[in-house]
């Protein structure tokens, strides 16, 4: 009997540990081979008739028209030239005004949310790089954001960016002793930002991250969500920020997240990205150990992919959050071995990797490039 138990245990270990490791190794080898194939399909300077130049303005492209890995932009999910120009000028001069002026002129609440996140993320990255370099005097330490707050304390844009910056600082190290203190400060700044721009949903959307980190009770979360829906009921960015709180990894369950995503998709107005929300709910609940290679070809994932494709095909032009959907579509389509459809997403988003799922890993550019290579090589 003991021998039987030992055999069962060995079988379980092989199925749960060894097989997934072998599968991940095989997938990695396939990605590497696909990347090599993608580089050799065309000769230097040549492009096949069906290929489209995917390079960003001002960036050189590979022979196949793809943006080189080292030039992939991890700050943004998609193109926003006005933001890039303002941010680079702000960081070069350490003068907050270019960023502040751009944000003051940004009326679209989806775009404003995206730009607040990106500006705050850039400040956090700048500060982290300065600390990693030994905190050299005179170095770039995101001082422009501090001066923005000090010189214009009543500017709603500065308050919004600073609140999100604090959130990114806290989330960078959830195990830190000051984690809750930083989030409490962020909540205070969110309140200031909300008072400065009462009709703007962005401060409340930032507080959704805080609700997750500080473990808001469900009634408090619902009250916060009501503040957002009163101001912009179909805000895609808000729904993306709210979904993790409702997932089983945080304070809800898979049923809660699915119900939230399904209801939002069902009530979505014409031209909205909300039909894509169920795909994000699926992503939030992917198992850590995926024993079934065919799970991405099953009905649940296939339906979510179809809904997301419907959303991006019908959304208003230049929607700021559309690239977020396309990045996740690329991931799922490659895993489902639907390579021609995945290649369509590459053509729409190549050059940028500041989105889920890439930012959830340690090497966003490298992981995106591997999926990109699979999509292009096998289309």
Closest listed residue to residue 272, CA positions, set 83, 112, 110:
110
Block residue for tokens 């993320």? 121
pLDDT of residue 133: 86
| CA atoms of 212 and 48, how far apart (whole Å) | 48
Tokens of 75: 């700050």
The pTM assigned to this predicted structure is 0.83
pLDDT of residue 75: 87
| CA atoms of 259 and 121, how far apart (whole Å) | 30
**What string of pLDDT tens digits covers the 379 residues of the chain?**
434 333 333 333 334 333 444 444 454 454 445 444 444 443 333 333 333 223 344 444 444 589 999 999 988 999 999 999 999 999 999 999 999 999 999 999 999 999 999 999 999 999 998 888 888 877 788 999 999 999 999 999 999 999 999 999 999 999 999 999 999 999 999 999 999 999 999 999 999 999 999 999 999 999 999 999 999 999 999 999 999 999 999 999 999 999 999 999 999 999 999 999 999 999 999 987 665 658 888 899 999 999 999 999 999 988 999 999 999 999 999 999 999 999 999 999 999 999 999 999 889 999 999 999 999 999 8
297, 326 Cβ separation under 8 angstroms: no
User: For residue 352, which phi and psi values (nearest 5 degrees)?
Assistant: -135, 140
Whole-number Cα distances in Å, 60 to 67, 230, 263, 356, 368: 7, 45, 44, 25, 18
| CA atoms of 124 and 136, how far apart (whole Å) | 17
User: For residue 73, which phi and psi values (nearest 5 degrees)?
Assistant: -90, 115
| CA atoms of 90 and 218, how far apart (whole Å) | 39
pLDDT of residue 140: 83
Whole-number Cα distances in Å, 318 to 78, 108, 204, 273, 312: 10, 12, 24, 12, 10
pLDDT of residue 139: 75
| CA atoms of 346 and 34, how far apart (whole Å) | 15
């Amino acid at each position: 009997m003991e021998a039987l138990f030992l055999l069962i245990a060995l079988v379980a270990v092989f199925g749960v540990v060894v097989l997934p490791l072998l599968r991940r190794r095989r997938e990695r080898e396939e990605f590497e081979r696909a990347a090599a194939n993608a580089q050799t399909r065309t000769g230097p300077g040549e492009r096949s008739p069906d290929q489209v130049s995917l390079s960003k303005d001002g960036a050189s492209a590979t022979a196949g028209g793809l943006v080189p890995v080292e030039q992939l932009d991890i700050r943004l999910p998609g193109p926003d030239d006005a933001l890039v120009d303002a941010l680079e000028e702000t960081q070069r001069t350490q003068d907050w005004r270019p960023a502040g002026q751009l944000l003051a002129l940004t009326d679209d609440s989806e775009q404003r949310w995206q730009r607040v996140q990106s500006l705050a993320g850039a400040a956090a990255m700048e500060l982290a790089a300065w600390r990693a370099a030994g905190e050299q005097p005179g170095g770039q330490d995101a001082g422009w954001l501090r001066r923005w707050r000090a010189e214009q304390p009543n500017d709603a844009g500065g308050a919004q960016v600073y609140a999100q910056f604090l959130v990114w600082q806290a989330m960078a190290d959830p195990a830190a002793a000051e984690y809750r203190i930083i989030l409490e400060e962020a909540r205070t700044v969110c309140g200031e930002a909300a008072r400065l721009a009462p009709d703007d949903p962005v401060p409340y959307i930032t507080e959704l991250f805080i609700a997750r980190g500080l473990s808001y009770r469900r009634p408090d979360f619902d009250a916060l969500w009501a503040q957002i829906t009163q101001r912009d009921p179909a805000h895609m960015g808000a729904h993306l920020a709210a979904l993790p709180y409702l997932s089983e990894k945080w304070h809800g369950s898979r049923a809660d997240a699915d119900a939230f995503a399904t209801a939002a998709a069902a009530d979505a107005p014409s031209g909205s990205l909300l039909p894509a929300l169920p795909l994000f709910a699926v992503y939030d609940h992917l198992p850590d150990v995926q024993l079934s290679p065919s799970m991405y070809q099953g009905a649940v994932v296939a339906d979510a992919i179809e809904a997301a494709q419907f959303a991006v095909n019908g959304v208003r032009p230049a929607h700021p959050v559309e690239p977020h959907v396309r990045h996740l579509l690329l991931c799922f389509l490659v895993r489902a071995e639907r390579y021609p459809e995945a290649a369509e997403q590459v053509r729409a988003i190549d050059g940028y990797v500041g989105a889920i799922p890439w930012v959830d890993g340690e090497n966003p550019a490298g992981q995106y490039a591997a999926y990109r290579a699979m999509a292009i090589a096998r289309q």
